Amino acid sequence: QSVLTQPPSASGTPGQRVTISCFGSSSNIARNTVNWYQQLPGTAPKLLMYNNNQRPSGVPDRFSGSKSGTSASLAISGLQSEDEADYYCAAWDDRLNGHVVFGGGTKLTVL
Amino acid sequence: EVQLLESGGGLVQPGGSLRLSCAASGFTFSSYAMSWVRQAPGKGLEWVSTIRSGSGRTYYADSVKGRFTISRDNSKNTLYVQMNSLRAEDTAVYYCAKPITTSGVGDLDAYDIWGQGTMVTVSS
């Protein structure tokens, strides 16, 4: 069971806007920044968002992130077929000397 | 080109040991904290361990604490993880990962560069 909670699945049609949520606690999301990763089948994860809402170079502005209290969300607008992937949230957790916690992942299907 | 290349994976019996290596190139390895993240077959991502750059301070997931040791050789631009007392539940693809920044927000946990991964299978 993951420390951060994500819905196991999400879906949308091309052009739609979808949102993926990530719920944590006072020791992780509330105190630290949230990062989001995209993982296409058979490939290594890719950093999609860091510091809650910052996009690394090369990530389209269709992707946006936000955080409020103990939860965060990733929004994808103008959904495209190539967005079909697994999405993971992650954050530093201050308990137990400090460690990184991941969400269980959300499988996004483009219908 | 910034690159991470893991090696050392393979099949090992329960209770056995394995050392993974991650060769880094294209960036100033000594300036970055480095991490290992694993993914069991068909499962999600699980953070394993992180080692800071300057102090060498280490952090471990509870699931590997006391069994795994992360280390680095800055002269060789290489990250290691020594894995002892391996269990079936350690079976996974192991990735090494570099953070997007050397200091400040994200310096321990926002991984912008990942290796291709190396598979570790613990089975008799």
pLDDT in tens, chain B (124 residues): 999 999 999 999 999 999 999 999 999 999 999 999 999 999 999 999 999 998 999 999 999 999 999 999 999 999 999 999 999 999 999 999 999 999 988 999 999 999 999 999 999 9
Among A35, A45, A103, the residue with its CB nearest the CB of B109 is A35
Among A92, A96, A102, the residue with its CB nearest the CB of B45 is A102
In this prediction, residue A2 carries a pLDDT of: 87
Q: How confident is the model at residue A96 (pLDDT cuts 50, 70, 90)?
A: confident
Written in H, E and C, the secondary structure of A45-104 is CEEEEECCCECCCCCCCCEEEEEECCEEEEEECCCCHHHCEEEEEEEEECCCCCEEEEEC
- Are the Cβ atoms of B44 and A2 closer than 8 angstroms? yes
In this prediction, residue B76 carries a pLDDT of: 98
Which tens digits make up the pLDDT trace of A40-90? 999 999 999 999 999 999 999 999 999 999 999 999 999 999 999 999 999
